[in-house]
Structure 1
Amino acid sequence: MKLKYSIAHGWTTNDAAGEDRGRQFGDGLFETIRLNGRGEAPLWALHLRRLARGLKALRFSDSAVATVFSALDSLSHPQVSTACKLIVTRGVTERGYAFSNDLEPVITITYFDAAALISKSMSVGLSDIMLSSQRALAGHKHLNRLEQVLARAAFEKEWDEAIMLSQTGLVVEGCMTNVFVKLDDEWHTPELNECGIDGVVRQWLLSQNTKVQVRAVSLEELRHAEAAVVTNSLIGVRSMGQFEGKLLDISPESREWQTAYQELFI
């Protein structure tokens, strides 16, 4: 017997067999996708490519992957929404970490209106939550996000974002964003070999700017940066106006990148 609690009804019997593995174990992936309001997702191909890599990393069966992409091939976005969240979990099982390869994945997509893209700079702090190292999961947007939940809960009032470090103290990303740092007139973005999410806007910017270096970035380098930007699908490209209270320049590159991203959604 399984009981379920709600404020309205208290404890009631729930006889549904099994439980979604995304709910049980975080066994799945998600994509947050910006739309242009005409049923189009300009970076859809990058989202699908990352999803495919994630499904492979989580060892989804070939049949499950085929089901996911067949479902997405048949999908038409509504022409009124400006964003959606796609969640794919391995499926429903009762107990235990083990799973069979014949599970049918659970695929859901929720549409919503994202905030308008703006150019305002952001105030960024330093999170005291450090990211766990796990090469098998690095780069993938899996459903295990407790580190980000804890980091977001500890934001100070004036922060728009917070930088998260690796276990060795290197800059990895923001709580909700990827990071690009300008040092000695050159741009760098942290490598994601041990942890972090390989964001779609990060991928897009790297494809557009081949001189950006992907390498380890130290906290001291960020503290002495000339400029920095943070990126994700919903906010696009935003300048880091200040980090830990220190003012940073708004670079011409960040303005160019902001404009280029915004033009994708016109």
Structure 2
Amino acid sequence: MMLVNGRPASVLPLNDRGLQYGDGLFETLRIRQGHPSHWQRHLERLREGCRRLGFAAPDAAVLETEAGRIAAAHPDGVLKLMVTRGPGPRGYRPPASPSPTRILVGSPLPDSLSVWRRDGVRARICRMRLSSNPALAGIKHLNRLEQVLARSEWEDEYQEGLMLDGEGRVVEGTMSNLFLVRDGMLLTPSLDQCGVAGITRARIMDIAAGMGIVCGQTGLRLDDLFRAEGLFLCNTLIGIWPVRCLEGQTLPVPDLVRRLQQQLDTQDP
């Protein structure tokens, strides 16, 4: 099911700036028992992204109603919510009075997610690097060419690829955030220059604080990953995926990671 500005549709105007320039944002939500999970967290990140791109966020009540229609059609599935600046004339200059476009798409939940959650995943280091831009760091904008090119580097022999910035700092996976375990602490890359500040990443940091686990955001290098006591990936759909193998090196899965999985599951409806 797909809604464009509240109406069933499968096309966009050719002059929509989301299509022409990637001028917009998106959120990916897990639908559980007919309800989009952690709706307020996603809505807050969407609002922040709209603020930073310089156009008004859609009305929250309208978005919630439309999300409910998608959730009713996919009660145990995935909702992708996109907001673009809307149609505009030729050229990069944004229209003075934009009319944002709302696009909501529902789809089934992929079958393999629970298997990788239990068994862990194989990951690699991507050759493609992320560009640094503090003005866009953290938000989930529609410009995903770096991730597309990174994901094209392998077939199905890995479940995820890790991306570095131009200075060689580890930032995130192509579709996930990253944590490592060191001396009983959690460390996750700082996202002040690039990367997406994931909803599940924030939830895990909150959970860790509640469990009395120290969690820091810092600059990480490849050596830090290979020396870690454990690594895991996270996003809204996968929850937590332990990394069992990185570039052919086998990694342990600490008990701390399994405890975090359990706590994360407990918070979900």
- Which of the five TM-score ranges fits, normalised by the shorter chain? 0.7 to 0.9
Aligned counterparts of 1:34 and 1:144: Cα–Cα separation in 2:
22
Q: Name which one, 1 or 2, has greater alpha-carbon Rg.
A: 1
Q: Would you say the 8 A contact 1:30–1:141 is kept in 2?
A: yes
Choose which of 222, 226, 233 in structure 2 pairs with 1:230.
233
Q: Is structure 2 residue 110 aligned with structure 1 residue 107?
A: no
RMSD: 1.8
Q: Is structure 2 residue 243 aligned with structure 1 residue 248?
A: no
The amino acid that maps onto 2:140 is: K
Shift >6 Å, 4+ stretches? none
**Matched residue, 1:69:** 60
Aligned counterparts of 1:233 and 1:120: Cα–Cα separation in 2:
18
Deviation at 1:17, TM superposition (A): 7.5
Structure 1 unaligned runs (5+)? 1-15
The CA deviation string for residues 5-61 of structure 1, in whole angstroms up to 9 with x for no partner, is xxxxxxxxxxx976110011000000010011x22223111111111111111111x
Q: 1:155 to 1:68 in 2, by over 3 A?
A: farther
Aligned counterparts of 1:155 and 1:263: Cα–Cα separation in 2:
34
* TM-score of the two chains, using structure 1 as the length reference: 0.87
Aligned counterparts of 1:188 and 1:253: Cα–Cα separation in 2:
13
Q: 1:254 to 1:143 in 2, by over 3 A?
A: same
Which protein has the bigger helix share? 2
Aligned counterparts of 1:180 and 1:232: Cα–Cα separation in 2:
11
Deviation at 1:157, TM superposition (A): 4.3
Aligned counterparts of 1:35 and 1:138: Cα–Cα separation in 2:
26
For residue 45 of structure 2, give the secondary structure of its aligned residue in structure 1: helix
**Matched residue, 1:9:** none
**Matched residue, 2:221:** 218
Aligned counterparts of 1:164 and 1:245: Cα–Cα separation in 2:
17
**Matched residue, 1:151:** 150
**Matched residue, 1:133:** 132
Q: 1:100 to 1:135 in 2, by over 3 A?
A: same
The count of residues paired between Structure 1 and Structure 2 equals 246
Q: Would you say the 8 A contact 2:28–2:236 is kept in 1?
A: yes
Deviation at 1:235, TM superposition (A): 0.8
The CA deviation string for residues 190-211 of structure 1, in whole angstroms up to 9 with x for no partner, is 0001000001100110111122
**Matched residue, 1:95:** 90
**Matched residue, 1:7:** none
Structure 2 unaligned runs (5+)? 1-11
Q: Would you say the 8 A contact 1:124–1:162 is kept in 2?
A: yes
Deviation at 1:217, TM superposition (A): 1.0
**Matched residue, 1:25:** 21
Answer with 206-215 or 23-32: which moved more: 206-215
Identity percentage over the alignment? 35
Aligned counterparts of 1:68 and 1:98: Cα–Cα separation in 2:
24
